[in-house]
Amino acid sequence: MTEQYKVFEKELSGTKQGNPYQDIWLKAVFQNNAEETEVNGFYCGDGRYKVRFMPTRPGTWKAVTKSNDPMLDRIELVCECMSAREGNHGRVLRRDEVFAPCDLSEEDRFHFSYEDGTRFQPFGTTCYAWINQPETVQEQTLQTLKNSCFNKVRMCIFPKFYTYNTENPSCYAFEGNEEEGFDFSRFNPVFWEKLEKRIRQLDELGIQADIILLHPYDKWGFARMGRETDAFYLKYAVDRLCHYKNVWWSMANEFDLLPWKSVEDWEFYARTVMCRDCYGHLRSIHNCIQMYDHNRPWITHASIQRVDIYKTAESVTEWRKTYHKPIVVDECAYEGNINYGWGNITGEEMTRRFWEGCIRGGYLSHGEVYVQHEQIWWAHGGRLHGTCPERIAFLKEIMEDVPDGAAPLRLTPDNHLDNWDVPCLCKEDDNSYFLYYFGFFKPAFRTYKLAKGCAYTIELIDTWNMTINKLPGIYAGDIRIDLPERQYMAVRMKKVN
Amino acid sequence: MTEQYKVFEKELSGTKQGNPYQDIWLKAVFQNNAEETEVNGFYCGDGRYKVRFMPTRPGTWKAVTKSNDPMLDRIELVCECMSAREGNHGRVLRRDEVFAPCDLSEEDRFHFSYEDGTRFQPFGTTCYAWINQPETVQEQTLQTLKNSCFNKVRMCIFPKFYTYNTENPSCYAFEGNEEEGFDFSRFNPVFWEKLEKRIRQLDELGIQADIILLHPYDKWGFARMGRETDAFYLKYAVDRLCHYKNVWWSMANEFDLLPWKSVEDWEFYARTVMCRDCYGHLRSIHNCIQMYDHNRPWITHASIQRVDIYKTAESVTEWRKTYHKPIVVDECAYEGNINYGWGNITGEEMTRRFWEGCIRGGYLSHGEVYVQHEQIWWAHGGRLHGTCPERIAFLKEIMEDVPDGAAPLRLTPDNHLDNWDVPCLCKEDDNSYFLYYFGFFKPAFRTYKLAKGCAYTIELIDTWNMTINKLPGIYAGDIRIDLPERQYMAVRMKKVN
C-alpha cells in the first residue's frame, strides 16, 4: 500500500550488457480511471531497474511497462494508494497551479501552496554540499534541521570545490574518482541511493529539497561536461528524483559563473527537465551577478541572489513588479565572519533582511558562515551557531498568522499617509490587518489615521528580542503610538469589529 | 584697510522717496590694474545705500559709482587691500576653477578648493531656521558649531513652517508680519543685517554658509511669491550677500515640493543669481524625491537628498558617473528619533553613511532630530545630542590625511581582487595609499595581494570607537589581516618605500 504523494517503487531485472544507462529505456503509464501519468524508469546497476511513481490520488493505479529490453517490456504494475496521512500535503506548487482561477486573487501568483491547498511559506536555508560530508556530519545536519524552523534546503548534487571545501567526497553521481577519472556515461547507484535517502529524510521533516542540478564550484569536471552529457545527467536525475514530493529543481547555482553554458543551453536543459518530470515540480535558476530572465515561462518562481550588496530584500518590491512570480531571495548574504562580503553580515542585518523581504511579499533563504568551526553550515551543514535562526523562527510564526489575501501595501493610502518610509503587509480590502516593519529606523512614535469605522488591537513587536507587547485597549481614529526608539520594531494592527 | 577676501563696505546717502528698493539702481566697477569687478550696491532703508566689495588681491582698488539717483552717481570709492591673514583662504570653488588645467587630474572635478589652493572638504550640518530662533538660541548654535567639526551649514533665508516649527520669527526678509501682511516690494534691513552678522560669524569660525534661497515649508507666502517677486528678492539677496567669501547658493531646498515653480523658473532664477554674483560662488539646488538635472552647466556641484531610503551614500559612485561634479549628499537622513523616516536613524548608521560617501569620493551633510529637546538641531540649532558628530570629526581627520590625488578604486585591481565588496579610496598611480571601509560587514580577516615592490604600514581603524591601531611591522606580498569581527572597521595602508 502506497500513501498518496509518496513513492511507489518496483524493482525489475533486465540486461546488464553494454551500457544500460545509455542503451535501455523503460517507461510505464500509470492509470487511475481517466487520469494517467507516464513515468520513466531507470537503471541502477547490476541488471537492476526501477520504476517509481508518486500517486496523486487514492485508489488503484495500474501500469504496463514499455522498454527496448524485452526483459523489461510489458510487465504489469499495480499501485494501491491510500489517502494522505495527516501532515502529508503533497507537492509544493505555485498557488495559481493549485487553485481554480475563480478562487485566485492578483496576489496569489506571488505565493506557494501545497497541492492539497495548505499554504506554504518557504523559510529556507543553504547547505550546498551537506550530502558530501562524512555520515556523522550528515546526521548532525538532519538533527539541526529537525530543531530549526527551516522548511527548505538548497543543496547540490555535485560536490563543491571552493575555499573551505577541498575534500573529495566518498562517492560521486558518476562512476569514478578524482585519481582515476570519471566515466561520464555511467552513474554511480551508491551515490544516488544515498542522495535519495537524504531527500526522503528531509521530506519526513517537512523540508523541501531545493536540488541544485549544476554549479560552477568544481575541480572534477562536472561543471564542464558539455551539452550532451549534461542532458544525459539531467534526465537520469529527474527520472530518479522527481517522484519525491519535496523536490524543487534549481537548474543552477550562479549560472552566470558558468559562462561556457549559453542561455540556449539553459533553456534546453530546462525543457529536458520539464519533459522528464511528469509532476511539474517547481523550477528556477539562481544567479551570481547577472540575473536570469525570470519572465521565461518555464520558471515557476524567481530564485534570486541579491545583486546589490546594500539594498537586498528591499528589492522584492521591484522584482515582484518585474517578474510577477513568487520571489525567493535565496541569497541575500549570510550571517557570519568569512572574509568574503557575501558571508559576514550580522544576525541583526540578516534578520532585518528577512523581515523586509517578507513584509514586501517575498521569501528569503538563510545561510551561515562562521569560519572558526570545523563545519561551516552554508556548505557542510553540521550545527548552527548564529543569532538569526531563532529570530527567523519568530518571524515565521508571525507570518503564519498573517491572514490569507494580505499583500504589501500598494500605495500609501490616505489613512496611513505618514508611513511612506515603512513597508507594510496588509489586508486592504477590509482593512482588517496591518503589519508595519520599521527596520533600522528608530522612531520615538508614529501617527496613524485608522480606517473609518474600524477599531483595532495594536501590538508592538520587537523582532530582535522576539517579544510581542499588546497595547492596552482598542484603537480607532487618529492615533499616536509611542515606540521604544530601538531598531527592528514592528507594529501589528488587527481589526476587532 | 580691507583684508583680501573680506568685505569692503561704503555707505552712501540717496533718495528715500518712492520705493528705492524698486526704483534705484547703484553700481560700481572696482579696478586694480587690469582686473575689474562690477558690484551692485543696495538700499538699506532710511535713505541709506551700501556698496560692498570683496577684493580678491591686495593693492588699491578704485571705483566710481553709477546710479539713476544723482545723489549716488559718480562717487569715487577707494579700497585699500592688504594680503589675507593666516587662515583666510578666500572663497571655496570647484578645484577645476582654482587650478590651471595642466595641474588638474580627472579626479579634481569632484572636489573643492579654497581659491588660494588650500583643499576644502565639506563636512556640513543642517540648521535650516537657526537665524529665526531667539537670540540666545542663535548664540548657543554658534557656540556648538565652534566646538564641532562642521565647516558648512545649510540655512534658509525664509523662516520654516513645519512640524516643530510653528513660531513666527521676530522679523522677516520683507517688511511686514503675519498679522498685517507683507509688503513684497520692500525688504526689511533689520533682518538682513542680522543675517549678515550670522554669515560673518560663521566665516570667522571657518564655516561655509550654504544659503537656501527658496523652500516649500511656508505659511507666510514666501514660497508663492511668483516669478517677478522671486527675481526681485534673489537680486537683493545676492547684491547684499555675495561679498561674503563663505557664501554658497542653494537655489532651493526640496525644489520639487514647489511644483508651481517650473524648471524654466529655476533656470531663470539661477541665471539671475549668476548675473548678480560677480564672484561666482558655488551653486546648486536640492531635491526631495525628484532629482534636479545636475548636469545643467550652472550647477557647480550636486546637492543631493538621497532618493532611496536604504541605499544612500553608496550611490555616490553612481552620481559621480552621472554628474561629473562634486557630489554633496546634503541629506542622507538624520540621526534622531522623529516619527518621520528621514530623521530617525542611529548614530552608527549616520556615521556609516558618512564613511561610505567619503570613501566613494563624495561629501555628506549631517543633521540631527531628537524630538525630546526644546531645540531640534536640524531646524533650530541649539545643542547637539547625538552620537555621530564626534565620529564625523574623527572621519574628517582621517580624510584630511588622505593624500592629494587619491580617488575611489575604479575597478578592483588584480592585487586587491577579493575586495569587490568593500569601497576603497586609494592612490592608484603609485600604489602609495589604500583606505578600505567595511561598513556593516564584519569579516574575521581579509587577504590582500600587495603591489609588487611595495611595502606598507597597516592600521586598523575602528570608525565607531575612534581608534587607530597600527599593526606591528611592515607588510608586503600576499598578506592576511585579522580583523576584530566588528562592524564599522577600516584598514589603512600607507607605502613606506
C-alpha grid cell for residue B171?
A: 522679523
**Cross-chain Cβ contact B309/A421 below 8 Å:** yes
Kindly give, in sequence order, each residue whose CB lies less than 8 Å from that of residue A160, ignoring residues fewer than 6 positions away.
Answer: A128, A129, A132, A215, A217, A379
Picking from A346, A371, A485, the nearest residue to B444 by CB comes out as A371
Mutate to test the interface with A, among B164, B338, B339 (most CBs of A within 10 A): B339
CA gap A387, A150 in Å, rounded: 14
Picking from B337, B372, B441, the nearest residue to A442 by CB comes out as B337
pLDDT of residue A413: 52
Kindly give, in sequence order, each residue whose CB lies less than 8 Å from that of residue A384, ignoring residues fewer than 6 positions away.
Answer: A144, A148, A368, A377
Q: Which helix (H) or strand (E) holds B229?
A: helix B227-241
Would you call B132 helix, strand, or coil by DSSP?
helix
CA gap A326, A362 in Å, rounded: 7
Q: A314 contacts in B (CB within 8 Å)? A: 310
Kindly give, in sequence order, each residue whose CB lies less than 8 Å from that of residue B197, ignoring residues fewer than 6 positions away.
Answer: none
Q: For A182-241, how does the pLDDT look when each residue is reduced to its tens digit (9 = 90+)? A: 999 999 999 999 999 999 999 999 999 999 999 999 999 999 999 999 999 999 999 999
CA gap B370, B137 in Å, rounded: 16
Q: A344 contacts in B (CB within 8 Å)? A: 441-444
Angle in degrees, CA A126, A177, A257, rounded to 5: 45
Which residue of chain A has the CA closest to B342? A421
pLDDT of residue B413: 52
Picking from B308, B339, B345, the nearest residue to A446 by CB comes out as B339
Q: Calculate the CA A456 to chain-centre distance.
A: 35
CATH topology of domain B121-400: TIM Barrel (3.20.20)
**What pairing do the DSSP bridges indicate for beta strands B467-470 and B456-462?**
antiparallel
Picking from B337, B441, B445, the nearest residue to A443 by CB comes out as B337
Q: What is the mean pLDDT of chain B?
A: 96
Picking from B440, B444, B447, the nearest residue to A346 by CB comes out as B440
Q: Where are the alpha helices (DSSP H) in B63-116?
A: 95-98
Residue A419 distance to chain B (closest CA, Å): 8
pLDDT of residue A8: 98
Q: Which helix (H) or strand (E) holds B294?
A: none
C-alpha grid cell for residue B199?
A: 554669515
Residues A165 and A129: beta-carbon distance below 8 Å: yes
pLDDT reading at B417 higher than 60: no
**Cross-chain Cβ contact B442/A311 below 8 Å:** no
For chain A (497 residues), the mean pLDDT of every run of 10, in chain order, is 98 97 98 94 98 97 98 98 97 96 92 97 98 98 98 98 96 97 98 98 98 98 97 98 98 98 98 98 97 98 96 96 98 96 97 98 98 97 98 98 90 58 91 96 94 95 98 96 97 94
At B277, which amino acid appears?
A: D
Residue B437 distance to chain A (closest CA, Å): 12
Interface of B with A (CB under 8 A): 308-311, 314, 337-342, 344-346, 349, 371-372, 418, 420-422, 440-447, 485, 487
pLDDT confidence tier of residue B412, bands split at 50, 70 and 90: low
Q: For A234-293, how does the pLDDT look when each residue is reduced to its tens digit (9 = 90+)? A: 999 999 999 999 999 999 999 999 999 999 999 999 999 999 999 999 999 999 999 999
Q: Which backbone phi and psi does A377 adopt, to 5 degrees? A: -50, -45
C-alpha grid cell for residue B422?
A: 568593500
Nearest to B447 by CA among B491, B424, B480, B412: B480
Q: A315 contacts in B (CB within 8 Å)? A: none
Q: B486 contacts in A (CB within 8 Å)? A: none
Picking from B310, B337, B446, the nearest residue to A339 by CB comes out as B446
Q: B163 contacts in A (CB within 8 Å)? A: none
What mean pLDDT do residues B159-183 have?
96
Which residue of chain A has the CA closest to B417? A340
Q: A346 contacts in B (CB within 8 Å)? A: 440, 442, 487
Picking from B309, B310, B447, the nearest residue to A339 by CB comes out as B447
Burial class (CB in 10 A: 0-12, 13-18, 19+), B166: exposed
Q: Which helix (H) or strand (E) holds B336?
A: strand B335-336
CA gap A80, B419 in Å, rounded: 59
Mutate to test the interface with B, among A308, A334, A339 (most CBs of B within 10 A): A339
pLDDT reading at B270 higher than 90: yes
Kindly give, in sequence order, each residue whose CB lies less than 8 Å from that of residue B23, ignoring residues fewer than 6 positions away.
Answer: B68
CA gap A279, A276 in Å, rounded: 9
**Cross-chain Cβ contact A440/B346 below 8 Å:** yes
CA gap A153, A145 in Å, rounded: 9
Biggest CA-to-CA distance, chain A? 81
Picking from A311, A345, A418, the nearest residue to B339 by CB comes out as A418
Residue A347 distance to chain B (closest CA, Å): 11
**Cross-chain Cβ contact B311/A309 below 8 Å:** no
- Bridge partners of B77, per DSSP, are B63
Mutate to test the interface with B, among A440, A480, A482 (most CBs of B within 10 A): A440
Kindly give, in sequence order, each residue whose CB lies less than 8 Å from that of residue B128, ignoring residues fewer than 6 positions away.
Answer: B154, B155, B156, B160, B212, B215, B217, B253, B378, B379
CA gap B48, B42 in Å, rounded: 9
CA gap A365, A250 in Å, rounded: 14
Pairs of residues, one from chain A and one from chain B, whose beta carbons lie less than 8 Å apart: 78
Residue A485 distance to chain B (closest CA, Å): 6
pLDDT reading at B33 higher than 90: no
Q: A317 contacts in B (CB within 8 Å)? A: none
pLDDT confidence tier of residue B345, bands split at 50, 70 and 90: very high
Residues A72 and A12: beta-carbon distance below 8 Å: yes
Q: A342 contacts in B (CB within 8 Å)? A: 421
pLDDT of residue A316: 97
Kindly give, in sequence order, each residue whose CB lies less than 8 Å from that of residue A102, ignoring residues fewer than 6 positions away.
Answer: none
Residues B487 and B464: beta-carbon distance below 8 Å: yes
Would you call A282 helix, strand, or coil by DSSP?
coil
C-alpha grid cell for residue B340?
A: 518621520
Nearest to B79 by CA among B145, B26, B29, B154: B29
CATH code of the domain occupying A2-82: 2.60.40.10
Q: B346 contacts in A (CB within 8 Å)? A: 440, 442, 487
**Axis crossing angle, helix A135-146 with helix A189-204, rounded to the nearest 10:** 20
Q: A420 contacts in B (CB within 8 Å)? A: 341
Picking from B311, B341, B445, the nearest residue to A420 by CB comes out as B341
**Cross-chain Cβ contact B442/A371 below 8 Å:** no
**Cross-chain Cβ contact B349/A440 below 8 Å:** yes
Q: What secondary structure does DSSP assign to A337-391, as a single string?
A: --SSGGG-B-HHHHHHHHHHHHHTT-EEE--EE-TTSSS-HHHH-S----SHHHH
Instruction: Read off the DSSP letter of residue B24.
Output: -
pLDDT of residue A417: 54
User: Could you check whether B121-400 and B407-495 share the same CATH topology?
Assistant: no
Q: How many CB atoms lie within 10 A of CB B417?
A: 11
CA gap A111, A344 in Å, rounded: 29
Q: A331 contacts in B (CB within 8 Å)? A: none
Picking from A309, A340, A421, the nearest residue to B341 by CB comes out as A421
**Cross-chain Cβ contact A344/B310 below 8 Å:** no
At B323, which amino acid appears?
A: Y
CA gap B253, B289 in Å, rounded: 11
At A99, which amino acid appears?
A: F
Residue A422 distance to chain B (closest CA, Å): 8
CA gap A374, A382 in Å, rounded: 9
Domain boundaries, given as residue ranges, for chain A: 2-82, 121-400, 407-495
Nearest to B330 by CA among B233, B208, B242: B208
Burial class (CB in 10 A: 0-12, 13-18, 19+), A296: middle
Interface of A with B (CB under 8 A): 308-311, 314, 337-342, 344-346, 349, 371-372, 418, 420-422, 440-447, 485, 487
Which residue of chain B has the CA closest to A420? B341
C-alpha distances out from residue A476 to A447, A471, A497, Å: 12, 13, 11
C-alpha distances out from residue B300 to B207, B274, B303, B327, B328, Å: 19, 11, 9, 10, 11
Q: Which helix (H) or strand (E) holds B40?
A: strand B35-40
C-alpha grid cell for residue A226?
A: 558539455
Mutate to test the interface with A, among B307, B331, B340 (most CBs of A within 10 A): B340
Q: For B79-132, how does the pLDDT look when each residue is reduced to its tens digit (9 = 90+)? A: 999 999 999 999 999 999 999 988 899 999 999 999 999 999 999 999 999 999
Domain at B407-495, CATH class:
mainly beta
At B444, which amino acid appears?
A: A
